[in-house]
Structures are given as structure tokens and as C-alpha cells.
Structure 1
Amino acid sequence: MAKAPEVSTKTAPRSTEFVVPQFTAKDYSSFCLAGALCCTVTHGAMTPIDVIKTRIQVDPALARSSLLSGGRYIIANEGPSALLTGFGPTAVGYLVQGGAKFAGYEFWKRQFCIIAGDPEAAVRYRTAIYLGASSVAEFFADILLTPLEATRIRLVSQRNYASGLVTGFTRLAREEGVRGLYAGFLPILCKQIPYAIGQFTVNEFCHELAYRSMSDETRRSLSPSATFGINLGSGVIAGFAAAILSQPADTLLSQINKGHDPEGSMVYRLVTLAKQAGFRGLFAGLGPRMIMTAGLVSGQFLLYGGIKDALGAPPGLEIHKESAKI
């Protein structure tokens, strides 16, 4: 059997043998834990905004509302506690999804770099590597997320559906079985994969643009505040991109999990709901969601990096155009 290529993270000329970091099981467990914590903290904190966004998508009375007016309407009619509806499934769902997504992205990016075969090819096809790694990682993460997301949306869209995560999940499983729990799997893939593409790919290119004009010495001597600013700005821009790319499918997902959608195959139901909503309807709630997603993505990357450092995990793979290492 051929021996696996030697692994190193040292800077090397482009003409040397292609090498990548040899992440250990401990490294991947650190990536997973950091991803799980950063996602559950940020998504949990954004629950009130997500409640308003979802209600704007599914409640005709709120269809033309802004984030502020929608929040006021919900509080006035249902009380402040209504803004925390679905907190349980949100926190648990994104705990498992976040761990699988971030660790999966690190894993698949490394695998695709190995497939590329050399530094020049990896840099040349870095966009495809980012797209492929984020898409595959998100696919497997969504298998874990979908039942909990279905529960969350049912709790938010049907105010008296259940008292919380356990009762809501149990009722949905009992009444509708696996079909009900995974009714939104296709639309959640259509939502989350573009979201992950925007999140990871745009973030990678924002960092590349920020660092491209810097020498290695300048980059090494960046102050903590400058590094924080680059990470924050990259995360905000990536968040805007993720929101725009995934908004139509997010709207359809809310409609599917609300129930009472057309009968038939999932593709037929999605097409029918899209026609009913129209272009404007598919982008209902985009403003609030862009604000929410910018906070989510930037917060996730900042927390992810901080938690990885605290755990002693290695940095992720970099294949930026001006870099001589990958």
C-alpha cells in the first residue's frame, strides 16, 4: 500500500511536494466542540430575531412588517416570552449541526486539497474546494438538524402546538412520524447549503483580500484589534451573502414546516409554494434575516477561533492565492 504523503504546515516553495496538515482525532474533536459551542450560543442568542423573521414569513398579518414593528406586534399580542419560542430546539439543533459543520468543513477542505495533488492546483481550484467542502459538510450536518428545525418552526408558527422542545418533538414524531420530522429536509438543504457556501467561501475570500497586500512580517505583527476587525468585517460580509443566497429556501422551509402545504412530492410542493409566494414573498423578512445572519456568522467565526485557541487546536488550512503554504 502506498504511504500517505508527509504532512507539514511550514512555509515551502510552490515547487516542493504537496503537503497538508495531519489533523488528529483530538484536533477534529476540538473543531467539533468549538463549532458546536459557537453555533448554539449565537443561534440561541438570536432566537427573538429568528422568531420575528419566521412569523413575518408565515403570518399574513406580519408579512409587510419590519423587525421592530413585528417584534412590537408579537409582544403586544402574545407577551415578551413569545420571542423565546423555540429556544430549546434552536439551541440543541445548532449544537449538533454546528459541531458537524465546522469539523466537517475542516475535514473536507483537507481531503479536497489532497485530491488536488499540489499547491498550484489547490490555489487554482480553491473556490471549488471551498464550495465542495462547505456543501458536503452541511449535507451531513443537516441530517442532524432537520428534525429539530421542524420542531422549532412548528412551535413558532403554531403558538399552542407544545410547551417546548421535548413535548413538541414528541408530538411531531407521534403524529407525523419520520415523514413529518424530515418534511423539510430537501428545502433545508436548499437553504443551508447556499448558506454554508456564503458563510465559508465569502469569509475565506474576504480574509484573502485583506491579507493579500500585506507582507508576512506585517501580518505576523498585526495588533489584536486589527485582527479582530478583519475577522469581524469578513464575518459580517459573509453573513450578508449567506442570508441573500439562502433566503428563498428559508421562506419555503417555514411554509413547509408550518403545515397545510400542498400535497404531492416535495419538489411539487416547493414549486407550488414558490409560485404562490412570488419573488417578493420569497424574500419576505430578508432585512431582519440579514441583520440576524450578519451577527450569527461574524459571532460564530470569532467564537470559533477563540474556543479553538483555548483548546489548543491547530489553525485551519489556508489556500489563499498569495500564500505559499496550504
Structure 2
Amino acid sequence: MDKSKTPVSPRAFVIPQFTRQDYTSFFLAGALCCTISHGAMTPIDVVKTRIQIDPAYRAHSFLSGTRHIIKVEGPKGLLTGFGPTAVGYLAQGGAKFAGYEYWKKRFVEISGSQENAVRNRTAIYLGAATIAEFFADILLTPLEATRIRLVSQRGYATGLVSGFTRLAREGGVRELYAGFLPILCKQIPYAIGQFTVNEFCHEIIFRNITEETRYTIYNSPTLKFSIQLGCGIIAGFAAAILSHPADTLLSQINKGHGPTGSMAYRLITLGREAGLRGLFAGLGPRMIMTAGLVSSQFLMYGAIKDALGAPAGLEIHKQSKA
């Protein structure tokens, strides 16, 4: 038989021993893919944030809101907050992707065997995504607060440095981290949707194809790209839906809305005032933005890792329907 046409078997289950250089590559790939994708999505995020928190934009759709911003502020208005977005997600993206690779491997090691790891893969995905995102958000929160203040309060500052400096000077650490709890409520569900749904989308595909088809995919960049893109888009939709209510509340908190009191009390009060419809205001634009973000991030993350010579991540997919 022609060996070039022999289907390949699924890769053997091996726990890789990642080096410090490997994690550095994971961090760099995650940082670049997130800062590039989030930076490119700044205009969509500006429109989404205005719809969420500015009463003058509540009746606008994404397209009409975009036209209104251009009319009132000019095209540069759509790039408001670009600086803190790029820098914030540079740090957050690196910590999130490298952290996910690290904690997924640690939980697999703790599980003790391949069978236990596969059986408990959902818990592993959820735990790795949650812990990685928690630490990543410590880096993101002050810059996200700066971004939202620039977008929601026109004339607040001229850019990243002046905005961050003013926020730190007037409110201190407390103001910079005022949104930490709501950003956790937003970003952790986002990360869960991004990583867990993407993992299961790939698993479903590869569990329902023949070995010959699997071989064809492994040797076709076009097919691999299509699968990664499709799985990323679905994961992006999931991430947007799961995290959107907290995203709305985060915008409100950073705008200064809501009663005084503990953060939990403020979030509950704002949620009740907004209602279900208010909590999901701006979901359409955000789903578009998030689908583009997540799918492009996975594509870029893989490409940058390959360029850096980094190893593939650990897979714990179930290999059959049984």
C-alpha cells in the first residue's frame, strides 16, 4: 500500500514537559494575537460601549451609531481608547493563553491518568480557563477602566498616558480597580466560552470523521484553516453571550453609575434597574466583534507559535463516540 495514503492514527496521549522558553513563546503568541485583534476591533467596541452606557445612543443600531459618531466626532472618534485597548490586551492576552496552557497541563498531571483526564476534561477546561483569566485580569483591569473612561466621557483625556495618569491621580488604586469584580464576571465566562467551546467543537468534528478524512485534514492547510475559523466563530458567539451582561455592568460601573456601597450591591442594583433587555443591550455588535476576535486569535496564536517553534498544546479530547 502507498504509505502516503495511509491514514494516520490520533496522536498518542503524552503530557509534554514545557520549558520556560515554551511558556515564553505561549505568552508572546497570546500577547500578539490579542493586542492585534482587540486593537483592530476598537471601532466596533466604541460603538458597542456607547450603546450600552450613553442614553443618546440607546435607540441606535450598530450602523446608525457608527454613522452618528463619525458625524459628531469625525472618523477618529471610532479609535477612541485604542491605546489602553492595545496595551491592556497585550498583557492580558499573554497571561491568558500561557496560563491556560500551564493550568490545563497541571490539572492533567493531577488527574493521574489519561482516562481520568479525558473523563474530567470539561472540569479541566473550566478550571484552566478560570484561573488563567483571573490572573490575566489583574493586568487588564486598570487599562480597561481607562479605555471605558475615554470612550464614555469625551474630553476626559487625550490618550492612554494622560487618561491612566488622571484616573490614578484622582481615584488611586481603588478607582483603577473599581471594575475588578465585574471584569472577572465578564472575562471568566468569556474565557470559558472561548476555550471550552473551541475545545469541544474540535472534538466533535474529529470524533465524527473517518481516519482517512482526518489524514486529509492534517495535510491540508485550507481545511485546517476552515475548521479553526469555524470553531473560533462558534466559540466567539458563546463567549459573547455568556459575558455580555457583566460587560454591560462593567461599562456602567466605570462610568460611575449606580448606588454607593459594596461592589456586589452596586452590581445587583444596576442589574435590576437594567432588566434583562438592558443587560443585553448592544449584544448584536458585540457578537460580531467577539466572533472576529476569538476566531482571529486562535488562528494567529497557532501561526505565531509555529513561527516561534513552540510545541503544540496538550490535547485531552475524547477520541470516539463510545
Q: 2:183 aligns with which of 185, 188, 206?
A: 188
Which residue of structure 2 aligns with residue 308 of structure 1? 305
1:175 and 1:97 map into 2 onto residues whose CA distance is 25
Q: Does 2:251 correspond to 1:254? A: yes
Per the TM alignment, residue 262 of structure 1 is displaced from its structure 2 partner at its CA by 1.4
Q: 2:87 aligns with which of 89, 92, 117?
A: 92
Per the TM alignment, residue 249 of structure 1 is displaced from its structure 2 partner at its CA by 0.1
Note the 1:271-286 alignment, pairs <5 A: 271-286=268-283
Which residue of structure 1 aligns with residue 61 of structure 2? 66
1:31 and 1:216 map into 2 onto residues whose CA distance is 30
Which residue of structure 2 aligns with residue 80 of structure 1? 75
* AA partner of residue 294 (structure 1): A
* AA partner of residue 12 (structure 2): T
Which residue of structure 1 aligns with residue 106 of structure 2? 111
Q: 2:124 aligns with which of 125, 129, 149?
A: 129
Which residue of structure 2 aligns with residue 296 of structure 1? 293
Per the TM alignment, residue 260 of structure 1 is displaced from its structure 2 partner at its CA by 3.9
Name which of structure 1's ranges 207-216 and 306-315 shifts more when overlaid on structure 2.
207-216
Q: Does 2:208 correspond to 1:208? A: no
* AA partner of residue 295 (structure 1): G
* AA partner of residue 241 (structure 1): A
2:59 and 2:276 map into 1 onto residues whose CA distance is 14
* AA partner of residue 108 (structure 1): W
2:202 and 2:22 map into 1 onto residues whose CA distance is 23
Q: Does 2:158 correspond to 1:168? A: no
Which residue of structure 1 aligns with residue 3 of structure 2? none
Q: Does 2:28 correspond to 1:33? A: yes
Q: 2:265 aligns with which of 265, 268, 276?
A: 268
2:197 and 2:37 map into 1 onto residues whose CA distance is 19
1:63 and 1:123 map into 2 onto residues whose CA distance is 46
Per the TM alignment, residue 259 of structure 1 is displaced from its structure 2 partner at its CA by 1.4
Where 2:85 maps in the other structure, the secondary structure is helix
Per the TM alignment, residue 143 of structure 1 is displaced from its structure 2 partner at its CA by 0.2
Per the TM alignment, residue 76 of structure 1 is displaced from its structure 2 partner at its CA by 1.0
Which residue of structure 2 aligns with residue 11 of structure 1? 12
CA offsets per residue over residues 253-287 of structure 1, 9 Å max, x none?
00000114311100011011111111100000000
Q: Does 2:245 correspond to 1:245? A: no
Give unmatched runs, 5+ long, in structure 2: 1-9
Structure 1 residues 22, 216: CA separation in 2 closer, same or farther (over 3 Å shift)?
farther
* AA partner of residue 235 (structure 2): A
Between Structure 1 and Structure 2, how many residues are aligned?
309
The alignment's TM-score, normalised by the length of structure 1, stands at 0.93
* AA partner of residue 25 (structure 1): R
Per the TM alignment, residue 80 of structure 1 is displaced from its structure 2 partner at its CA by 1.0
* AA partner of residue 56 (structure 1): I
